């Protein structure tokens, strides 16, 4: 029957259902648990204050809650020190921080290596950095399943490589990337490694020190938390190489008119007033997620995903993009434009994504103008997929 | 501004009548597809990058000619339902002057056809981008 025991923890699911809508777009952004809504309203009703500034009690309370999230996130990711986590406005900002903060290490002729499946957020900052510094952007090709092709990676990652930036879980193909093999290739060349965990963090718990990357980025809103919050993890030695990139507020240690000294990570990279309520909200979401049975969540998600992939596989003329392993599946149908399918699915109250999924170069390389993506959250039921499949069949029949 | 239907071009009056009689989303979608099929075709040469309208989810091409101050547009798209939306938009704007194009309210037109709900914000902005392109063409000529 595949029914999610956690569905009722997310009030929006019932509201959407009452409106005849099925939410299958969690990879874009996830619905939020009641625990988050309570934390946000609790923070605003009990007194907002800026953090790391004033001494009054309200500010102290806010700062404690804000820093509490840093510790919870560190524990979630098995990071030894909370000061290895910098709060940003999202995964995109974290990646831009890296592309500016590491710019001084990139010299003309150096190579920055990314994979062919990167989200624009993990492509454009590096592309633009390469253009600014006269470096070369090297693209790792994919195998047919939709994972980085390791033999090709072994050839392309070389002594010229300064930095490798790859996704953990593809937002288009739903494939886990072979980080255990890839990261050592870069490390062996003395290159820095960046993992885009925007999708990966949502599925399973990850041990970042064990993963062995220098940097890891994530977004709160995909992990059932509020938007406007992201985080950047760094190994201590890697964080020490970052130059400051945004200036103002409490990131400064001493300032006079002509000169200033800045704080180290994390505060030195959190210029301006941070999204305080959002960060506190993320802490409440982590508390909530900690109450769930990790194995049960993983099993439920795997069963839903298997049902999704099996069902798609039964439709004639339908092609999956890559071989999806988790969280989502993207597909195209022979002779049917994805925009038409999306239109008719929307008419039937099914929320999916259509288009290029912020990965235009990937779509071009797959020879597609776009695709439909169905993505799952822990609150989805098997029945959501039944509704989707019925709507898909109806749409395909109309477009035949 | 909703104008007197009898002042509309014949094709627009037909759209109002047909879509007004449509019962539900499925009938409207089928109507859109059949309107889309009746679009005047574009040549391969006309499906050029230059005629591509930016800001649409799916690719849309638009060409237009000024016939004694009255504009006649032709267009196409890769997606069938979008071709339908384009067809009912073209029906409404056919033979308008540049000034009339400036003041046309697309959202109102789609609302009259009962198609507001089918216009997601992204598709609506696509239709707005098409109208904007029409207006720009009208303006260039002056
Ligand atoms: C793989 C991947 N990286 C980066 C991002 C960007 O995240 P955000 O928009 O939250 O900054 C996304 C979000 O769509 C993503 O899926």
**A231-252: pLDDT as tens digits:** 999 999 999 999 999 999 889 9
Q: Over the stretch A24-71, which tens digit does the pLDDT of each residue have? A: 999 999 999 999 999 999 999 998 888 887 788 888 899 999 999 999
ipTM score of complex: 0.87
pTM score: 0.93
Q: Out of A339, A343, A398, name the one closest to residue B30 (CB).
A: A398
- Single out the residue of A394, A325, A344, A336 nearest to residue A370, CA to CA: A336
What distance in angstroms lies between residue B82's CA and the mean position of ligand 1's atoms? 28
Compute how many other C-beta atoms are within 10 angstroms of the C-beta atom of residue B65.
10
Q: What is the mean pLDDT of residues B7-32?
A: 92
Question: φ and ψ at A242, to 5 degrees?
Answer: -75, 135
Chain B interface includes A343 (CB < 8 A): yes
Q: Which residues contact A104 (CB under 8 A, 6 or more apart)?
A: A243
- Spell out which residues of chain A touch residue B79, defining contact as CB-CB under 8 Å: 337-340, 343
CA distance B1 to B93: 14
d(CA B1, CA B134): 19
Inform me whether the pLDDT recorded for A87 exceeds 90: yes
For chain B, the domains span 8-140
Nearest 10 degrees: Cα torsion A39, A41, A45, A51: 50
Which residue in chain A is spatially nearest to B82 when comparing CA positions?
Answer: A340
Contact partners, residue B34, CB within 8 Å, separation at least 6:
B84
Task: Specify the CATH number for A37-290; select among 3.30.2090.10, 3.30.1700.10, 3.40.640.10, 3.90.79.10.
Answer: 3.40.640.10
DSSP state of A244: P
Please write the tens of the pLDDT for every residue from B51-92: 998 766 678 999 998 888 898 999 999 899 999 999 999 999
pLDDT at B125: 64
Atom of ligand 1 nearest to the CA of A169: 1
Kindly report whether the peptide bond that precedes residue A22 is cis, defined as omega within 30 degrees of 0. no
- Min Cα distance A276 → chain B (Å) is 31
CA distances from A216 to A95, A106, A166, A168 (A): 9, 19, 10, 9
> How remote is the CA of residue A122 from the centroid of ligand 1, in Å?
8
Structural contact between residues A24 and A311, judged by C-beta atoms closer than 8 angstroms: no
**Which residues of chain A make contact with B118, given a CB cutoff of 8 A?**
343, 347
State the fold for domain A7-31+293-399: 3.90.1150
Average pLDDT, chain B: 86
Q: Which pLDDT score is estimated for A27?
A: 98
Confidence band, pLDDT 50/70/90 cuts, at residue A353: very high
Active-site position among A350, A358, A371, A392: A358
pLDDT of residue A52: 83
Q: For chain A, what are the domain ranges?
A: 7-31+293-399, 37-290
CATH topology for B8-140? Sufe protein. Chain: A (3.90.1010)
From A355, which residue of chain B is nearest by alpha-carbon distance? B57
pLDDT digits (tens, 9 = 90+) for B113-135: 988 876 666 665 678 888 888 88
pLDDT of residue A236: 97
Of the pLDDT bands very low, low, confident and very high (cuts 50, 70, 90), residue A1 is confident
Could you report the per-residue pLDDT of A250-290, keeping only the tens digit for each?
A: 899 999 999 999 999 999 999 999 999 999 999 999 999 99
């Amino acid at each position: 029957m595949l029914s999610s025991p956690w569905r009722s923890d997310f009030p929006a699911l019932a509201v959407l259902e009452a409106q005849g809508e099925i939410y299958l777009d969690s990879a874009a952004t996830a619905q939020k648990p009641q625990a988050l809504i309570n934390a946000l309203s609790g923070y605003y009703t009990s007194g907002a204050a800026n953090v790391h500034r004033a001494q009054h009690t309200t500010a102290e309370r806010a700062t404690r809650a804000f820093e509490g999230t840093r510790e919870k996130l560190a524990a979630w990711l098995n990071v030894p020190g909370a000061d290895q986590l910098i709060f940003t406005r999202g995964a995109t900002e974290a990646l831009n921080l890296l592309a500016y903060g590491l710019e001084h290490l990139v010299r003309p002729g150096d190579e920055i290596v990314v994979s062919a499946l990167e989200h624009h957020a993990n492509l454009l900052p590096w592309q633009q950095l390469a253009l600014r510094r006269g470096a070369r952007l090297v693209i790792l090709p994919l195998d047919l399943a939709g994972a980085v092709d390791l033999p090709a990676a072994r050839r392309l990652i070389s002594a010229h490589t300064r930095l490798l930036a790859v996704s953990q879980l593809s937002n288009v193909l739903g494939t886990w990337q072979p980080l255990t093999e890839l990261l050592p290739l870069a490390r062996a060349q003395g290159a820095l490694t960046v993992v885009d965990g925007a999708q990966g963090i949502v599925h399973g718990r990850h041990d970042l020190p064990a993963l062995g990357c220098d940097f890891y980025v994530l977004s709160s809103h995909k992990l059932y938390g509020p938007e406007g919050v992201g985080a950047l993890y760094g190994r201590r030695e890697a964080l020490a190489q970052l130059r400051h990139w945004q200036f103002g507020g409490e990131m400064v240690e001493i300032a006079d008119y002509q000169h200033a000294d800045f704080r180290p990570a994390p505060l030195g990279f959190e210029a301006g007033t941070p999204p305080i309520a959002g960060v506190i909200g993320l802490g409440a979401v982590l508390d909530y997620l900690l109450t769930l049975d990790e194995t049960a969540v993983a099993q439920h998600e795997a069963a839903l995903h298997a049902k999704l992939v099996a069902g798609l596989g039964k439709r004639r003329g339908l092609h999956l993009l890559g071989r999806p392993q988790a969280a989502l599946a993207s597909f195209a149908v022979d002779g049917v434009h994805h925009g038409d399918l999306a239109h008719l699915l929307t008419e039937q109250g099914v929320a999916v994504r259509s288009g290029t999924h912020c990965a235009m170069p990937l779509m071009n390389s797959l020879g597609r103008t776009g695709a439909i993506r169905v993505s799952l959250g822990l609150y989805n039921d098997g029945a959501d997929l039944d509704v989707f499949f019925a709507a898909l069949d109806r749409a395909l029949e109309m477009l035949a | 501004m909703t104008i007197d239907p009898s002042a509309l071009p014949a094709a627009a009056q037909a759209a109002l009548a047909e879509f007004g009689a449509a019962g539900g989303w499925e009938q409207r979608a089928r109507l859109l597809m059949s309107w889309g099929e009746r679009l005047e075709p574009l040549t391969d040469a006309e499906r050029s990058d230059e005629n591509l309208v930016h800001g649409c989810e799916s690719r849309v091409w638009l060409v237009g000619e000024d016939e004694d101050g009255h504009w006649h547009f032709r267009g196409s798209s890769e997606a069938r339902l979008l071709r339908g939306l384009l067809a009912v938009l073209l029906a409404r704007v056919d033979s308008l002057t540049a000034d009339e194009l400036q003041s046309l309210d697309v959202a109102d037109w789609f609302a009259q056809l009962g198609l507001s709900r089918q216009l997601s914000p992204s598709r609506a902005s696509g239709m707005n981008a098409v109208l904007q392109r029409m207006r720009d063409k009208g303006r260039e000529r002056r």
